[in-house]
């Protein structure tokens, strides 16, 4: 029952995942999953609050409880030592979205030889990106070029599993924005990853309203999620 949540299934398949279980509670310890050391949770809030008091001293470091916003909030209410640190959106699709993308230049997967170009574009246009070439479990990059071969937009497949493809690092060069390139690129990367998988997902910040609007137009559903951290 606890394993049905896509967040938990994503975590269970992550590299070096470690599972802690108690009646009505599961915490999956995931180092460096989408940039952060995460404690992905499922179960009853009271049981999880008790389990986290066991897990967090054992794992040490800066592992952050993570799950649906409703669950994280309920666990924090039962845990004076914790506070909600971030609220954001898990967005996903179980159906191809390419038909909803605007027309434009064709995206493609980039060879590894292009990763220095990707790094330069990320540094210029999205320096806070969790996904960067060579990062942990950042698998490949898709891109769109102009007629002169200049890289205009990129998106990564990162932290994906056999069941769930994962998008990250989506950005467009500043002087190429407003042309639907990100939507076209995300549709390409999502449909490519969906082959043989149950769903494709991504994490988005609520403040990035343009990105969230783009993903929703493509057909991605939105689910509120949150993270917590030690208070004080």
Bridging pattern class, strands 25-33 and 36-43: antiparallel
Is it the case that residue 3 has pLDDT exceeding 90?
no
- pLDDT tens-place string over residues 156-169: 999 999 999 999 99
Q: Could you say which DSSP state residue 26 is in?
A: E
End-to-end CA distance of the chain: 34
Q: How far apart are CA 136 and CA 208, in angstroms?
A: 24
- pLDDT tens-place string over residues 132-182: 999 999 999 999 999 999 999 999 999 999 999 999 999 999 999 999 999
Show the beta-strand stretches assigned E in 34-130.
36-43, 64-68, 82-93, 108-109
Q: How many CB atoms lie within 10 A of CB 212?
A: 18
95-197 has which fold?
Answer: Aminopeptidase (3.40.630)
Q: Is 158 helix (H, G, I), strand (E, B) or coil?
A: strand
Query: Residues 6 or more apart from 60 whose CB is under 8 A from it?
Result: none
This prediction has a pTM of: 0.94
- pLDDT tens-place string over residues 56-104: 999 988 999 999 999 999 999 999 999 999 999 999 999 999 999 999 9
**CB of 171 within 8 A of CB of 121?**
yes
Query: Residues 6 or more apart from 93 whose CB is under 8 A from it?
Result: 190, 194, 199, 200, 218, 219, 220, 221
**CB of 183 within 8 A of CB of 107?**
no
Q: How many CB atoms lie within 10 A of CB 113?
A: 7
- pLDDT tens-place string over residues 20-38: 999 999 999 999 999 999 9
Q: How many CB atoms lie within 10 A of CB 114?
A: 16
Q: How many CB atoms lie within 10 A of CB 191?
A: 19
Domain map (residue ranges) of the chain: 2-91+226-230, 95-197
- pLDDT tens-place string over residues 101-123: 999 999 999 999 999 999 999 99
Q: Could you say which DSSP state residue 208 is in?
A: -
DSSP string covering 27-46: EEEEEEETTEEEEEEEE-HH
Q: How far apart are CA 93 and CA 11, in angstroms?
A: 18
Q: How many CA atoms lie within 13 A of 113 on its CB side?
A: 0
Q: How many CA atoms lie within 13 A of 227 on its CB side?
A: 19
Check residue 16 and give left, alpha or beta (phi > 0: left; psi -120 to 50: alpha).
left
Q: Could you say which DSSP state residue 150 is in?
A: -
């Amino acid at each position: 029952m606890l394993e049905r949540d896509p967040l938990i299934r994503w975590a269970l398949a992550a590299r070096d995942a470690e599972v802690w279980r108690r009646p009505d509670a599961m915490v999956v310890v995931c180092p460096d999953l989408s940039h952060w050391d995460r404690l992905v949770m499922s179960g009853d809030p009271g049981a999880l609050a008790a389990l986290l008091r066991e897990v967090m001293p054992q794992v040490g470091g800066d592992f952050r409880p993570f799950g649906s916003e409703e669950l994280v909030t309920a666990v924090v209410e039962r845990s004076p030592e914790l506070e909600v640190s971030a609220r954001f959106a898990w967005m996903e699709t179980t159906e191809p979205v390419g038909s909803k993308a605007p027309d434009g230049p064709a995206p493609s997967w980039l060879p590894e030889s292009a990763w220095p170009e990707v790094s330069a574009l990320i540094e210029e246009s999205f320096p806070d990106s969790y996904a960067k070439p060579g990062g942990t479990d950042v698998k490949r990059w898709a891109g769109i070029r102009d007629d002169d071969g200049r890289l205009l937009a990129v998106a990564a497949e990162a932290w994906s599993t056999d069941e769930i493809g994962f998008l990250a690092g989506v950005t467009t060069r500043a002087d190429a924005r407003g042309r639907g390139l990100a939507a076209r690129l995300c549709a390409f990367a999502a449909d490519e990853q969906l082959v043989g998988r149950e769903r494709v997902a991504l994490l988005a910040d609520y403040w990035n309203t343009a990105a969230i609007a783009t993903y929703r137009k493509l057909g991605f559903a939105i689910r509120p999620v949150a993270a917590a951290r030690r208070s004080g």
